[in-house]
Structure 1
């Protein structure tokens, strides 16, 4: 297949404003944009500064008005509770309009903030859309987030109201949200006026007198009274949401996404990057608490008129490694978007892909990976068992959509394993050395994006303009610093090797831990791995690899560790000074599946450390400490 990528990227390069003016025609505007970009507004300019729109109208109402109200908008599938539910676009409109009326009853209006602290259930999406409907700014905080971290976010955005569920449900436990929320509100200085609590059957939760209101009762009362909120016109430049980046220390960093640019960018990606058609089923196996959930569980698919899946479960253990394949067969998924760590979890438990044979996944056309670096071994494994294109693409919480991808809708370019392929229209990418000079082809450096960033990217950090400038813009004037390191090869393919912090200095040699991980992951017994740089008195830093083996692996840990040391020596070279490989049962990860390499490094260096707020299971860090101690580290 011939890719139209080069022609489309050139079209953007030749006239960026005309490119986005054309893309904006796919959105329903209350007042269509006349001016496309205002370079003098915001920290680097604002898109569609004179336009007026509403995100909920584009995600819900316009599909009902177009006669597609009976089409499924949301499929909820919860193996942990044994629950399935489908909401059509017409049903979603009714639910969202009613909840929006309840929010108004509690004093929430345009510009007010609402924190959403919920599990992966339809009400979380309904809550987001209800806020968008009346022009309120939502801030979703991952359900079960630690009380102290939640309190920081409450103080930062000062919500008028909190939408919460009483609990989350994990495979082997119920996570009680209500006590965490109560503690957070107690700690917060800027307390919300009210909490609307969805009381799940697994945790009825006793309401706090005078503050907590029963979600179901309030919605039923509003419905009985015929209360329904219409969509409120908002400026395209008005904030749609605040999303706090994971793993922050100190004051949280609230990424602000504007409304109009986000709608335009997401609609463009659904066709051109993901090759999904209205009415098809798109599944982003993430969580609404993360940026992937915002962009591709909620807004992207619904704006496009697709059917989205809300999955309350895991890739393995709910109940088995065939969980994803069962969902794909049962709901006719055309395109799956997940994190590499989910695939590695499946591969670890079922390396031969035998569970896949139980299901008909023939309607699946593509698998997309993002969230962390996708190692070539995992991509090739998925290609082999699924026999569909596996597309690695790279983006950030701050960007809201892909910086680099192999755009399926434009025709796939040849795959280079380890590369998310090419920059997308809107992104002018370069790689520089430590002095800010062009690094040249195939040379490692810091990845920058020339300003302005395209529509859909962050427009601010909430109430922290100086921090935004210092964190992203000041080091390289005229550019956005991604914080990621990598290189561009002779064919223009981008290789993202990890955060700049993951480039280690071994006796003066700058080496990518991502490159070492790629080598380790190629070993047939390795399910997943992480490499960190430990402090070393002589060499400055020395790499240390943590390895999780596939189920049923034979041979001693000592043998495999020796093989991995030799493999890195053969593939990367003696310069890597790779001498320490440690087999562990599991790696510490955030709930979105990102490996917490920074925490592992602190433990290895014997630096003071605290449990990251985003960690899925804190006990894993103790296991890492024990494994290091057993090696005399």
Structure 2
């Protein structure tokens, strides 16, 4: 079929796909009970729910209130029972250590059951918390699923976080056990974890009963009292069976940066999480049993929770766990080597990773060395996908490159291109359309809905769908204040953007002072607190500025105390070292400028938004509320100077 006929066929097909998406989306909003109870059939329940949404305590909504299940059973045992026990569940590839391994569903189930038994022998039971501070090793997946098997609540802390950050999470979650490793391995260094854990626990009022240490040969740890060896524990452990829990019971806590510097414990419930992730895997990503799926992220982030561990295993796919980097382990072909070697059907990573590869290998020469014929789709999220990176990846991989948008709080995509349900035309720069259950609105300051093409605050009308956070750990009031108080009846995403005339959503950036460094949300307030501790610093501000590679990078501005005598280079080195020690290398904090004053409103608020705009090259006029316009005028040259 050629010419007019083929064009007409393509048009009708596109209309049919759009109609299929629209029908599902409208049903999810008009009949949420019917939609989500049907979706819940993809999950195996110990007690099947008869109701989907419980709105009796709005705005604290709950999903599947009368349902009972176990997530680890759904991720592992049921696949073994269905005759797929010899299928690969997990493939581990670690170029930083030269190690790799494969784990079938049966093998992974047995490892999880045994470690669950080990945790149970240490006193862990349903509802107890377990902090997991591990690198990208199979045992991290085992530990998460073992907690789920017991009905315990895990909280994974990214291995790059400093003792202070780990301590804050221990203090809030109050774990019975901390699970860690002797070390993490980076391309250029080895990070010993046990000293970090010890330092963190030396500052907390809460002390776990035990610390379990996975010994890695790269750097073994000498254990002390209260520290238990992983291998010794599992050698005598009796396997534990799945514990039935309520769908509304918490599965995990994942801490995200708060603008006050105090981390917020995002709670993920058990039933809604399983249903939403199973739905998204099939309908957003088009992945099911027999597919090989690779999320190149870290289990310390929400992407790792949802799409390295839980979602692919819930639908019976094979998931790849990668302990390496997009470049430098050993070269810019690392991703393509892994995708080719394991027959990856879909890859999910952050735009930062693709930009890093592009910077080292701009022509994509490394692709010629690898057979990527099995790769169907590249999914990107974690920060805005700029059109240049989108085009580069599309041209070289010759597969659909799909941007999508979601948050730690939401647990799965708010807006995406539903490749499994109804693939839609791609618009570079857009996350495409809202997914079922997400009633996305764009509002102005007064709460009025913005017309197509007009930027405003992106919100979601309540209730949020299954899988989204029902609250914050131990703090319903903070949950309401942080997310639900700005616009009545709406969840505030903290992002701004617009919807075009086709209903496509364009997410333009953050509206608060949490910045996004390579897909990692970090609090500028926490960094400012570190800078303010320096004896020479009187005032300070940290803003996120655009960066071609990482999306955003923090830039610090400090005002010295009167009479302070310190060389600027020395001050910069001390401040960078302090942020690295207290926040962690993940902050990528390297640029600090000494300024005479910070621009402020008459009420004393630092004009960070204005500073960000100028640093990003926009011609931002001084707001009418500014206290001293000359301060901003003087600062413009510093703000526009590249780090």
TM-score by length of 1: 0.82
Whether 1:103 aligns to 2:119 is yes
Residue 595 of structure 1: how far off its partner (Å)? 2.8
Does the 8 Å contact 1:64/1:90 carry over to 2?
yes
What does residue 436 of structure 2 align with? 425
* 1:413 paired to 2:424: yes
Q: Does 1:68 align with 2:108?
A: no
Counterpart contact for 1:134–1:231, Cα < 8 Å:
yes
What is the alpha-carbon distance in structure 2 between the residues aligned to residue 101 and residue 372 of structure 1?
A: 39
**Structure 1 residues 605, 380: CA separation in 2 closer, same or farther (over 3 Å shift)?**
farther
Give, in whole Å, the separation in 2 of the partners of 1:625 and 1:9.
Answer: 51
1:488 pairs with 2:499: yes
The answer on whether the counterparts of 1:98 and 1:228 sit within 8 Å (CA) in structure 2 is yes
More displaced stretch, 341-350 vs 7-16? 7-16
What is the rounded CA distance, in whole Å, between the counterparts of 2:559 and 2:386 in structure 1? 26
Q: State the partner residue of 1:616.
A: 585
Residues 161 and 585 in structure 2, CA contact (< 8 A), matched pair in contact too: no
Is 1:377 aligned with 2:388?
yes
Q: Cα distance, 1:217 vs. partner?
A: 1.0
Matched, 1:25 2:36: no
- Distance in 2, Cα, partners of 1:305 & 1:42: 35
SS in 2 for 1:374: coil
Task: Please give the residue correspondences for 1:146-161 in structure 2 after superposition, counting only pairs within 5 Å.
Answer: 146-161=162-177
Q: 1:150 to 1:412 in 2, by over 3 A?
A: same
CA spacing shift, 1:628–1:312, aligned 2, 3 Å: farther
Aligned with residue 552 of structure 2, among 578, 595, 620: 595
Name the residue aligned to 1:576. none
Contact 1:430 1:449 in 2 (8 A): yes
Q: Please report how far the alpha carbon of residue 621 of structure 1 lies from its aligned counterpart in structure 2 after TM superposition.
A: 1.2
In the TM superposition, 1:298-377 aligns within 5 A as 298-377=309-388
**17, 22, 27: which one pairs with 1:6?**
22
> Structure 1 residues 438 and 247 mapped into 2: Cα distance closer, same or farther (>3 Å)?
closer
CA shift in 2, pair 1:502/1:256, >3 Å: closer
**2:277 is the counterpart of 1:266:** yes
Number of aligned residue pairs: give it. 547
- Does residue 218 (structure 1) correspond to residue 233 (structure 2)? The answer is yes
Most deviating of 247-256 and 165-174: 247-256
Match of 1:497 among 508, 523, 526: 508
SS in 2 for 1:187: coil
| SS in structure 1 of the partner of residue 552 of structure 2 | coil
**Hey, which bits of structure 1, 4+ residues long, moved more than 6 A?**
604-610, 623-627
**What RMSD over aligned residues (CA atoms) do the two structures have, in Å?**
2.6
- State the distance in 2 between where 1:297 and 1:187 align: 32
Tell me if structure 1 keeps the 8 A contact 2:496–2:508. Answer: yes
**C-alpha separation in 2, matches of 1:407 and 1:182:** 45
Tell whether 2:95 aligns with 1:79. yes
Paired with 1:219 and 1:42, the residues of 2 have a C-alpha distance of 44
1:120 matched to 2:136? The reply is: yes
What is the rounded CA distance, in whole Å, between the counterparts of 2:639 and 2:495 in structure 1?
31
CA contact (8 A) 1:604 1:628 kept: no
The match for 1:231 is 242
* Structure 2 unaligned residues grouped into runs of 5+: 1-12, 517-523, 525-540, 562-574, 596-636
- Taking the aligned partners of 2:192 and 2:448, their CA distance within structure 1 comes to 51
Q: Distance in 2 between matches of 1:630 and 1:206?
A: 50
> When the two structures are superposed, what TM-score results if normalisation uses the length of structure 2?
0.81
What displacement does 1:497 show? 0.1
Q: Distance in 2 between matches of 1:188 and 1:406?
A: 44
Deviation at 1:500, TM superposition (A): 1.2
CA contact (8 A) 1:185 1:191 kept: yes
1:243 is paired with a residue whose SS is: strand
Instruction: Check if 1:54 corresponds to 2:94.
Output: no
Quote the offset at 1:14 in angstroms.
2.9
Residues 516-555 of structure 1 aligned to structure 2 (within 5 Å):
none
Q: Do the aligned partners of 1:422 and 1:494 also contact (CA within 8 Å) in 2?
A: yes
CA distance 1:343–1:218, change in 2 (3 Å): same
Equivalent-residue separation in structure 2 for 1:544 and 1:254 (angstroms): 23
Residue number in structure 2 paired with 1:467:
478
Corresponding residue to 2:192 among 168, 176, 185: 176
Preserved contact between residue 258 and residue 264 of structure 2 (Cα < 8 Å): no
CA apart distance, 1:6: 1.5
1:311-365 deviation line (CA, Å, top 9, x unaligned): 0000000000000000000000000000000000000001100001100011000
| Aligned 8 A contact 1:448 1:482 in 2 | yes
Q: Any unmatched runs of 5+ in structure 1? A: 504-512, 515-531, 533-540, 549-586, 588-592
Listed one character per residue, the Cα deviations across residues 151-191 of structure 1 (whole Å, up to 9, x for unaligned) are: 11101010000111111000010011110000011111111
Which deviates more from structure 2 when the two are superposed, residues 119-128 or residues 6-15?
6-15
Structure 1 residue 245: deviation in Å? 0.7
Distance 1:89 1:594, change over 3 A: farther
Q: Deviations over 1:555-604 (max 9, x none)?
A: xxxxxxxxxxxxxxxxxxxxxxxxxxxxxxxx7xxxxx6634xx32x438
Q: Secondary structure at the match of 2:202?
A: helix
Cα distance in 2 for residues equivalent to 1:625 and 1:389: 46
Alignment counterpart, residue 224 of structure 2, candidates 208, 212, 216: 208
Shift, 1:606, TM fit: 8.7
Q: 8 Å contact 2:161–2:586 — kept in the other structure?
A: no
Shift of 1:279: 1.6
TM-superposed deviation, 1:144:
3.3
